[in-house]
Structure 1
Amino acid sequence: MSTFPSIDSELLRTFVAIADHGGFTRAAEVVNRTQSAVSMQMKRLEEDVLERALFERDGRQVRLTPEGQVLLGYARRILRLQGEVFNTFRQPHMVGAVRIGTPDDYVMRFLPEILSRFAQAYPLVQVEVHCEPSSQLLTRNDLDLTIVTREPGTEIGQLLRQEPFVWMAAEGFCPQDQRPLPLAMFNTTCFCRAWACNALEAMDLDYRIAYSSPSLSALFAVASAGLAVTAQLRSLLTGNLRIIGEEEGLPVLPNASIVLLRGNRMTPVTDKLAEYIVEGFRA
């Protein structure tokens, strides 16, 4: 059976630091080594371990070669998996259950990747997800972590991200030809619905709530069928919808804030999942 030389994780960690920070000098500060030590590490990685050039050097500028780009993907995966192994076996207290509250919107867009990574690192933790509108989640006191949408200036908890609401419609849908304009919106307790209606009224545009639902997938299904326009966070855009706006005579919508609230019963498990949520929403 053929054997391959092992790759020291410290070499990969330094390599990733160089790629992330654009040079050997800054990477040396990040990994707490001298610049000469970093240079020796990369010389060993290039010449002794992989026998491939990983960097293109132009004066002080450093760029990854095509081989370096390939290694970067593997290096990130290896270091992430290594961290997850140590987390799993060095922290036996990471067991238990976490109750998350979130609107339906974010379950589709953000939670799959977040929960997948968390499950790989902490397979013994049970995660219970409760999907409700933000207005209802704010009234609950039985959740450990709660993700809600807030209007600018009313943020509470930890800000995860801010982004604009946008109008979305199917390809070929022409809002100028639709009067009153049919809307597919969340139920009446959603302030986003009020934003959309107020913006249309300010421009004296006739509209009607043609479809309403607490389910984002239902609203997208209606919009994708060309039956109505919807207004949602830009990051929730799906491939069968397009963003429309001022060019089609529609008003600009404001930004919204996504925030994370922590419950009264914080544990190491809850804290760790909160870290994954913050990272996932800011990625």
Structure 2
Amino acid sequence: MAALPVNLDMDVLRTFVTGIDLGSFAKAADCLGRSPSAISLQMRKLEDQVGQTLLRRNGRGLALTEPGEMLLGYARRLLDLNDAAVSAVATPALSGSVRLGLPQDFTETGLPTVLARFARLHPAVRVEVHVERDAVLRSELEAGRLDLALVWDATGAAGEGSLVAHLPLVWIGPRAGVVGAAHRPLPHPLPLALFGTPCLFRHAALKALDAAGIPWRVAFSGPGLAGLWAAVAAGLGVTLRTPHGLPPSLRPLDPDEADLPPLPSLRLRLVRGMGGADPAVERFAELLRETLAETTRVVAPLP
């Protein structure tokens, strides 16, 4: 007689994925409202079901084994399908449109994931994406041309939207090159690759350098992030940005190594447009926050 198929427990798979996304099963226990011992039992159950060790010790933490990495991909797809089925049956079908604005930093990381998830859950909703600089996004919000926008906040304005994440500002240079290399002096004056004005990253860079008494010159100025990355990778100058979505040709520079001034962190906020509450917009905002929590890993607590 053929062996019965193994039915993976969705609840256990959700715990597994949450623990990996948060980087800690202790954090997953808090997030899911379970005790650490209950989480441990779930992980042992999952390993028994698949007959493989999924996690291994890595210093004081845990890391995925090769079977664990394989299962993680399947677990994400199973949970997406499960959530889509529940949403389709249990809630009224959403329709309408969502107009989203976001900085260029998130077009290759958070955006594809959230668009794919939302399309599977709510295929009747049309999503329009506007990728612009921060000043333009704020103007579009005020004009009523956007329903949602991710904007940078350097001032800590408590009333503006909802806080999504704190991301550090870092000096960025080429992965292999003279600028920022250990025990080599900075070029004088320091060449910079920056967006044109108005730009809060440009303002933060020049303010920090002026306060530290470091002379500078703008060697590259352009409106697009791809051009900025290319200029830095080519060694035209250093730039200032968050490390989120950094291409492999670049690296954050150690301020001590490169004799560069220290930098603060930057808040990322999700701001809603002037229109009233809309179910499709609210659902997209919720999913966007969840996705950013997984991709940024430097996340502010939910309000």
- Matched residue pairs, number? 263
In 1, Cα distance between the equivalents of 2:103 and 2:64? 43
Contact 2:114/2:287 (CA < 8 Å) preserved in 1? yes
CA displacement, residues 126-177 of structure 1 (integer Å, 9 cap, x when unaligned): 1111122212222232211011001142251111101111111112132534
Residue 248 of structure 1 aligns with an amino acid whose one-letter code is A
Alignment of 1:202-213 (within 5 A): 202-213=211-222
In 1, Cα distance between the equivalents of 2:205 and 2:225? 16
CA pair 6-279 structure 1, distance change in 2 beyond 3 A: same
- Residue in structure 2 matched with residue 149 of structure 1 by the alignment: 152
4+ aligned runs moved over 6 Å, structure 1: 42-45, 53-56, 63-68
Q: CA deviation at 1:15?
A: 5.8
CA displacement, residues 81-104 of structure 1 (integer Å, 9 cap, x when unaligned): 111123245445312211011122
- Residue in structure 2 matched with residue 166 of structure 1 by the alignment: 170
Q: After superposing the two structures, state which structure 1 stretch, 77-86 or 243-252, moved more.
A: 77-86
Q: CA deviation at 1:237?
A: 1.8
- Residue in structure 2 matched with residue 227 of structure 1 by the alignment: 236
In 2, Cα distance between the equivalents of 1:45 and 1:233? 37
**How many percent of aligned residue pairs carry the same amino acid?**
31
User: Structure 1: which 5+ runs fail to align?
Assistant: 57-62
Counterpart pick for 1:274 among 271, 281, 285: 285
In 2, Cα distance between the equivalents of 1:44 and 1:260? 36
Q: CA RMSD in A?
A: 3.5
- Residue 102 of structure 2 is aligned to residue 99 of structure 1: no
CA pair 265-206 structure 1, distance change in 2 beyond 3 A: same
In 2, Cα distance between the equivalents of 1:172 and 1:238? 15
Residue 251 of structure 1 aligns with an amino acid whose one-letter code is P
Residue 270 of structure 1 aligns with an amino acid whose one-letter code is V
Residue 208 of structure 1 aligns with an amino acid whose one-letter code is R
- Residue in structure 2 matched with residue 253 of structure 1 by the alignment: 263
CA pair 125-6 structure 1, distance change in 2 beyond 3 A: farther
- Residue in structure 1 matched with residue 10 of structure 2 by the alignment: 12
In 2, Cα distance between the equivalents of 1:44 and 1:115? 30
Q: After superposing the two structures, state which structure 1 stretch, 86-95 or 117-126, moved more.
A: 86-95
Residue 162 of structure 2 aligns with an amino acid whose one-letter code is Q
CA pair 93-230 structure 1, distance change in 2 beyond 3 A: same
Counterpart pick for 1:201 among 194, 204, 210: 210
User: Helix, strand or coil: the match of 2:240?
Assistant: strand
User: Structure 2: which 5+ runs fail to align?
Assistant: 56-61, 295-303
Q: After superposing the two structures, state which structure 1 stretch, 213-222 or 68-77, moved more.
A: 68-77
Residue 178 of structure 1 aligns with an amino acid whose one-letter code is P
In 2, Cα distance between the equivalents of 1:139 and 1:205? 34
In 2, Cα distance between the equivalents of 1:13 and 1:260? 29
Contact 2:88/2:121 (CA < 8 Å) preserved in 1? yes
Counterpart pick for 1:183 among 177, 180, 192: 192
In 1, Cα distance between the equivalents of 2:47 and 2:257? 53
In 2, Cα distance between the equivalents of 1:159 and 1:112? 21
Residue 97 of structure 1 aligns with an amino acid whose one-letter code is S
CA pair 144-3 structure 1, distance change in 2 beyond 3 A: farther
Q: After superposing the two structures, state which structure 1 stretch, 101-110 or 253-262, moved more.
A: 101-110
Q: Name the larger-Rg structure.
A: 1
CA pair 230-53 structure 1, distance change in 2 beyond 3 A: closer
Contact 1:161/1:258 (CA < 8 Å) preserved in 2? yes
In 2, Cα distance between the equivalents of 1:179 and 1:55? 52
The normalised TM-score by structure 2 is 0.74
In 1, Cα distance between the equivalents of 2:283 and 2:128? 15
- Residue in structure 2 matched with residue 132 of structure 1 by the alignment: 132
CA displacement, residues 8-58 of structure 1 (integer Å, 9 cap, x when unaligned): 6xx3314654884969xx79x958xxx8xx989x87994xxx4847799xx
User: Helix, strand or coil: the match of 1:108?
Assistant: coil
User: Helix, strand or coil: the match of 2:244?
Assistant: helix
Counterpart pick for 1:192 among 192, 201, 206: 201
Q: After superposing the two structures, state which structure 1 stretch, 84-93 or 111-120, moved more.
A: 84-93
The normalised TM-score by structure 1 is 0.78
